[in-house]
Amino acid sequence: KRLFELKGKNAIVTGGTRGIGYQIALDLANKGANVFVWSRNKEVNEKAVKSLPIIHNDQKHTGIVCDLSKTNKLDETINEIKKQVSSFNNGDNKIGILVHSAGITHSELLFKKSSNDNNNYNNNYNSINDNSNEIMTTNLLSPILITQSFLKDMMRLKYGRIIFIGSVVSEMGNRGQTIYSSSKGGLNGFSKSLSKEIGQFNCTSNVISPGFIDTDMSQQYINNELINSIPLKRIGNTKDISKTALFLIESDYITGQNIRVDGGLY
């Protein structure tokens, strides 16, 4: 019975084609949910959707190609998802599970010395780079807008499980990641306040804050010194995060939490 636990439930996983999001999409599919996989690259998206398991006859997975760094296409995409999910054969016919895993990272010092003159700070500021907008929109603003768009449906359903993949750097800080950690810190605040607004409708909102997880994104940071600084002495894997996501989705009485899954790093 546990195998079909999420039969009839509809989930969106942004960033569901690779890394952490893909593992969560796989695990949701293996529990019987219909999964909408949201990402930018069309070919990778099609491949990921095709690879998700179908464990019962009414199950259907759908690819959504839309760039989260641009908010002008969000409404159209969200309406398309709502249309598709309402046409499914059975089940909730609304999105009940929303996992925000898509994200981008960027490392650059906010303040960089551009000359050797230590006393001349006037021209030394590395102006907030052009990536800031893209990072804040992809990691924070779009997840907020998407969540808002599906709230009414979740409240009517009296079922909502919202999960944001944040980052331990939102609390721990990291040199070179001022903008990235602000975007993730924003998710912490949004989720906490949201949990207080939607609880009465049986909707929960939680953040998972990973440490270093073995995916495309983290390769640039992984080295022996880092591994040694982690109490559990290993880089995390995507399953470490998806286990926590599935636990939160199956939990009925956990909301407003930020769960660090970081091997003890922080």
What is the rounded CA–CA span in Å between residue 129 and residue 52?
38
**Nearer Cβ to ligand NDP (90/219):** 219
Q: Give yes or no: 180 in active site.
A: yes
- Minimum distance from residue 71 beta carbon to ligand NDP (Å): 11
Least distance (Å) between residue 221 CB and ligand NDP:
7
| Region for residue 19 given its phi and psi (left: phi exceeds 0; alpha: psi -120 to 50; beta: otherwise) | left
Burial of 74 (0-12, 13-18, 19+ CB in 10 A): middle
Is 131 within 8 Å of 106 (Cβ atoms)?
Answer: yes
Residues that bind ligand NDP (CB under 6 A): 14-15, 17-21, 39-41, 44, 67-69, 101-105, 138, 165, 167, 210, 212-213, 215-218
- Chain position carrying tokens 């359903």: 157
DSSP at 127: P
Rank residues 10 and 218 by Cβ distance to ligand NDP and give the closer one: 218
Closest separation in Å from C-beta 148 to ligand NDP: 17
CA distance 82 to 36: 11
Residues catalogued as catalytic: 180
